[in-house]
Amino acid sequence: MRLTDFKVLTFDCYGTLIDWESGLLAAMRPLLQHLGGRIDDESALVAFGRHESALQTEQPGLNYRKVLAEAHRRLAKDWGAAPDEAAALRFGDSVPDWPAFPDSAAALAYLKQHYKLVILSNVDRASFAESNKKLGVVFDAICTAEDVGSYKPDRRNFEYVLKRTKELGFAPRDVLHTGQSLFHDHKPAKAMGLATNWIDRRMGKSGGGATMPVEGVKTDFHFPSMAAFVEAHRKEVGK
């Protein structure tokens, strides 16, 4: 299997193109500082991931900004902090402030020359529109949890994106699903029969961070960054 076998890249965004863990921690910093350093960053990410996943399962139609706000409320309660509704709402509105990884925009500009690019994201349309400004590319299709009415790893999200890629004229065999999260992306994508490309932004770190842990997922490609993915593609095409 080669990278040049595919015609469409379906992308997870947050964790893959946008540095969501840095963004989450920056938005969570006032709460963590209020707790006096009692909760370290990695523990905070793990706790967030647990609440986010539970909320997305319990209320699959809930707008992602509201998922974030409720996760903040639950974290504060878990950690014994006083309720702060304004802080929870600020956390819910924080997605536009999350930074892109330094290599994302240049990598997407290169890949756009070789593939159709499609987003399959677990956020709402308005939040993604703000993040898209940092990525500097026009995607051929954008599929959000708000469009689908459920959150990855739900099968419906992958059925939805395959419907969109079919409308663009491509079969599932033409699609390479590219993302960071084994839980949200690679496990369900492989269950759908898709080839997958793991952009392992947490390479060298233990645990799953803000994503739920999962075992036994085998991906077709594995790179530590988008830049490394592009370099491998360049080698295949002889550039």
* 3-class state of residue 16 by DSSP: coil
The band of 35, judged by pLDDT with boundaries at 50, 70 and 90, is confident
Question: What is the C-alpha separation between 63 and 66, in angstroms, rounded?
Answer: 5
Q: What sign does the dihedral 227-229-232-236 (CA atoms) show?
A: negative
Question: Cα angle vertex 80, ends 76, 84, to 5°?
Answer: 40
Question: Cα angle vertex 183, ends 174, 15, to 5°?
Answer: 80
Q: Would you say residue 204 has pLDDT above 80?
A: no
Instruction: Find the mean pLDDT for residues 166-191.
Output: 95
Q: How many CB atoms lie within 10 A of CB 225?
A: 18
* 3-class state of residue 35 by DSSP: coil
Structure confidence by residue, pLDDT tens digits, 115-146: 999 999 999 999 999 999 999 999 999 999 99
Question: What is the C-alpha separation between 222 and 199, in angstroms, rounded?
Answer: 6
How much is the pLDDT for 238? 85
Q: Does domain 21-97 have CATH number 1.10.3720.10?
A: no
Domain edges within the chain? 3-19+100-237, 21-97
Closest CA relative to residue 118, chosen from 86, 154, 162, 61: 162
Q: Would you say residue 69 has pLDDT above 80?
A: yes
Tokens of 224: 């530590």
Between 42 and 204, name the one with better pLDDT: 42
> Out of 12, 124, 154, 185, which one is annotated catalytic?
12
Between 19 and 207, name the one with better pLDDT: 19
Do 69 and 88 contact (CB within 8 A), yes or no? Answer: yes
Tokens of 200: 């392992």
Q: Which fold has domain 3-19+100-237?
A: Rossmann fold (3.40.50)
How much is the pLDDT for 239? 62
User: 141-149 — which CB contacts under 8 Å span 24+ positions?
Assistant: 141/116, 141/165, 141/167, 141/168, 142/118, 143/118, 143/119, 144/119, 145/56, 145/60, 145/64, 145/121, 146/63, 146/64, 149/60, 149/61
Structure confidence by residue, pLDDT tens digits, 80-119: 998 899 999 999 999 999 999 999 999 999 999 999 999 9
Examine the residue annotation and report whether 12 is marked as an active-site residue of this protein. yes
Tokens of 195: 């080839």
What are φ and ψ of residue 8, in 5° steps? -130, 135
